[in-house]
Amino acid sequence: MPKVKVRPSPSQTRVLQMLSENRGLFLSWVGSGSGHWNGVGFRRAFRELGNPKARQMRILTDEGWIELEDGRSRYYTIAEAGDEALKHIHEVKHTGSELNLSEQDVVRALRKKYGRDWILSEQVRLRGYQDSIVDVLAIRNTGKAQVRIYEIKVSRSDFLAELKNPYKRLNAIELANEFLFATPVGMIDPKELPEGCGLVEIHRGGKAFVTIESPFSMSERPSWRLVVAIVKGM
């Protein structure tokens, strides 16, 4: 079994996770320039991560985290050492987070990432929906209307308490197209996520990255019921 000598950086970890979760996905690289996503799910990979730069590709190959797929000349997939590196991260990481963030730090990161295309409102009380309060409610203001709700957790104990009370988020999940937890990076294991939820992690520098996509609940526009509930809570 390969011994993990160096831990992948957050950006390298996201590349390895993408390859690990999509075994039909590959990175094509000829030893110079950027890598390029190919295969199953390449559009999603590019949308979320962009194309890995040449320096990042060199590190991934030099550390043995990715390898040529079945001897093909330029198509790389995750190697056994890459799987082991991810396993090591999961084993040591999810007892808390190295980042000490406040809820407002998380909100600022969400606004930085989504503020151009989404209208974000904090602490929205949805009267008429058992007086639910959501941490951040976002409505897309470009293209097709969508509603997204973020539940912010900045401590592991708070997240674990949430897991014990699944009814708390049922109204929010019913109202929104997407429901995501927003946490400091590494605070939780994505495998701990309740069904129907996504995960946004906040990294150093206040950068937000979607680690797990939320299942999309089909609804063409915010319902009148939701609009009334928001207005009542203002």
Could you please report the per-residue DSSP string of 4-15?
--SPPPHHHHHH
Is 75 in the same domain as 114? no
* CB burial of residue 84 (10 Å; 0-12, 13-18, 19+): middle
Is 44 in the same domain as 115? no
pTM above 0.85, yes or no: no
- Cα distances from 174 to residues 45, 113, 226, in angstroms, run 28, 24, 10
Q: What is the pLDDT of residues 44-92, one digit of tens each?
A: 888 778 888 888 898 999 999 999 887 667 889 999 998 888 877 655 4
Q: What angle do CA 32, 35, 38 make, to 5 degrees?
A: 140
Tell me what the pLDDT averaged over the chain comes to. Answer: 80
Alpha carbon distance 126, 132 (integer Å): 5
Please check the confidence at residue 114 and state whether its pLDDT lies above 50.
Answer: yes
Residue of higher predicted confidence among 230 and 170: 170
Total domains in the chain come to 2
Which of 173-177, 182-186, 207-211 is least confident? Answer: 173-177
Which residue among 46, 70, 93 closes a domain? 93
Identity (one letter) of the amino acid at 189? D
Q: Is residue 163 part of a domain?
A: yes
Q: Is residue 160 part of a domain?
A: yes
Which residue among 36, 61, 93 closes a domain? 93
* CB burial of residue 71 (10 Å; 0-12, 13-18, 19+): exposed
Is 84 in the same domain as 107? no
Is 158 in the same domain as 216? yes
* Helix, strand, coil share (%) of the chain residues, nearest 5: 40, 25, 35
Alpha carbon distance 27, 34 (integer Å): 10
Is 82 in the same domain as 137? no
Q: Are 194 and 212 in contact (CB under 8 A)?
A: no
Is 67 in the same domain as 120? no
Q: Is residue 37 part of a domain?
A: yes
Is 83 in the same domain as 107? no
Give strand pairing partners of 200.
Answer: 182, 210
Is 54 in the same domain as 113? no
Which residue among 32, 61, 93 closes a domain? 93
Is 133 in the same domain as 185? yes
Q: Is residue 26 part of a domain?
A: yes
**Residue-number span of the structural domain to which 30 is assigned:** 10-93
Is 76 in the same domain as 115? no
